[in-house]
Structure 1
Amino acid sequence: MASIVMTRPSSGPRRAAAICGLGVAMVVALAAPSSAASVLKPHPEGPESRGGKAAGGVPSLSISIDNGRTTAEEGDRLTYTVKVRNTGAARVRELDLTQTLPTGLRFVSADGQGSASKGQVRWSVDVPPGKEATFHTVAEVGATPEDLLRLASIACASTEGSDKPIVCATHSDRLPAGAAAAEAAHVAAHPVSSRLGYVGMGAAAALSVLVLAGLLLLRRSRRGRHLREPSS
């Protein structure tokens, strides 16, 4: 599931981290695959864009991350595409772009001179006004905790040397544990229809067996009749 989160300048690193954390929490809580992007717009009372930057000198940006999938399991190799766009009118220089590598996701490679360290991939990029920079990361799914429902990776952009993200986006893929949890939740919410479904599948299997047995008996009967007929 890919989503885009646009934030106002925060008053401190704690608030910025809380905003990104909220995005991941919402994805995990929903536990439903989706490829649609959602946008959280700045607060109506927030600063207006001025010369490509919001009040206070913060660049006007949008960001997205996606790997073209909705599910993942151990052994899968995932290719992420991270895009950051300069929606303002001024060039953004030395933009710090990062992508997290959560537990269970092993770094393989990254283009654009991206380097992996301390659980994240990092790039430094200049983005002209109205233009977009695109990067790719390849990672492999390893062993994940049995209670981990989704594998989420977060991309954030910030000015160089700042620990306050300007924009963040997240993409998550449902793990086998998530699929099992979703099935259990469905059965709990619809116990009657779920039981009827299982009964229907059982009846269909039994009918298939009976049909096959009938065909075998018919074939044997025809073969025995043919052997008993006198030859001319």
Structure 2
Amino acid sequence: MSALGLAALIALPGAHLAPGQPAKAAGEVVAGADGLHVDLEAHTDQERAEPGDRIRYTVRVRNSGTEALPDARVVQFLPSTMRYVSGTGGADVEEGRVTWSRSLDPGERTSMRVTGEVTGVRDGGEHPVTTVCARPGPEAVLVSCDAALHRVHGALPLVWVVTALAFAASVALCVGGLVRHRSTLDQQPGGPGTVSERESAPEPAPAPVREPAPVAVAEPAPRPAPEPERVPETVAGPVPVPGAGASRERVAELDGRT
């Protein structure tokens, strides 16, 4: 028996004795009581159930003792915030309680299924507990129990829902207007961008430097050989002839000397 099942067994009012059982029978040892074990599993589609959600239970019982239990009883207690919907046939359904009668030989196992629907939130808490217990006979005490804990939250009031929707709509309108305004500014030439956009914008990569294509250089035309520098010829002046240009008297004088 799990700790949660033991706590549930202790907390069940009047669950220790079968209906109509005298108090003196509580101390009697019932054959096969030590070998009776019960296990409860719960399955739901949501982590936290809401009113209207359904929870599926699987109850497993086994007789690990050496004695047969021809009239063992399995009892599942439903919380006040849950109603019985359906379950394995042969059950005796009462308000808040489902009971099966099973015959278990030594080593035999059996299982039952129950579907319950959450109808509300328990006062003072959000965790309704479903407990299942087994007794070896109709007049015996409950000897093995297990429990399942569920988190349930109530539906929000309609006014809260309307307020939340209106607030969400106003926020959406504000965000949409801001986005349109920013997009309009960005589309204008030279429109300012945000600081983050300017900081995060990558700098343009420098254009690759292209080497100029080789230009064919025309070979210079051969220069004509320089002409030898002409030196002006020096023409000797006339050799002065003695007596040239002299007067006749001087010529006669000179001629006489010769």
Change (3 A) 1:125 1:56: closer
CA distance in 1, matches of 2:3, 2:128: 17
Q: Quick check: which one's helix share is greater?
A: 1
The corresponding residue for 2:41 is 66
Aligned residues of 2:32 and 2:68 also touching (Cα < 8 A):
no
Code of the aligned partner of 2:184: R
| Structure with bigger gyration radius | 2
Q: In the comparison of the two structures, how many residue pairs are matched?
A: 156
Identity of aligned residues (%): 23
Q: Which aligned pairs between 1:28-107 and structure 2 lie closer than 5 A?
A: 56-59=30-33, 60-69=35-44, 71-107=48-84
- Of 177, 186, 189, the residue aligned with 1:225 is 189
Shift of 1:163: 4.9
TM-score with structure 1 setting the length: 0.56
Give distance in 2, aligned partners of 1:119 and 1:6: 17
3-state SS of 1:225 partner: coil
Matched residue SS, 1:174: coil
1:100 and 1:120 in contact (8 A); partners too: yes
Query: What runs of 5+ residues in structure 2 fail to find an aligned partner?
Result: 14-28, 155-170, 191-258
**Equivalent in the alignment of 1:229:** none
Is 1:105–1:141's contact at 8 Å kept on the other side of the alignment? yes
Amino acid at match of 1:74: P
The Cα offsets for residues 12-35 of structure 1, whole Å up to 9 and x where unpaired, read as xxxxxx8713489xxxxxxxxxxx
CA pair 93-71 structure 1, distance change in 2 beyond 3 A: farther
121 and 131 in structure 1: CA distance in 2 versus 1, 3 angstrom threshold: same
Provide TM-score, normalisation by structure 2: 0.51
More strand by share: 1
**Match status 1:159 vs 2:136:** yes
Relative contact order (C-alpha < 8 Å, sep 6+): which is higher?
1
Give the direction of change, closer, same or farther, for the CA distance of 1:4–1:128 in structure 2 (3 Å limit). Answer: farther
SS of the counterpart of 1:176? coil
| Alpha-carbon shift at residue 138 of structure 1 (Å) | 0.8
Deviation at 1:211, TM superposition (A): 9.4
CA distance in 1, matches of 2:124, 2:64: 39
Kept in 2: contact 1:151–1:174 (CA 8 A): yes
Q: CA separation in 1, counterparts of 2:39 and 2:9?
A: 13
Deviation (angstroms), 1:159: 2.8
Q: Indicate yes or no: 2:124 matched with 1:147.
A: yes
CA separation in 2, counterparts of 1:211 and 1:154? 51
Does the Cα contact within 8 Å between 1:6 and 1:166 map onto a contact in 2? Answer: no
1:138 aligns with 2:115: yes
RMSD: 3.5
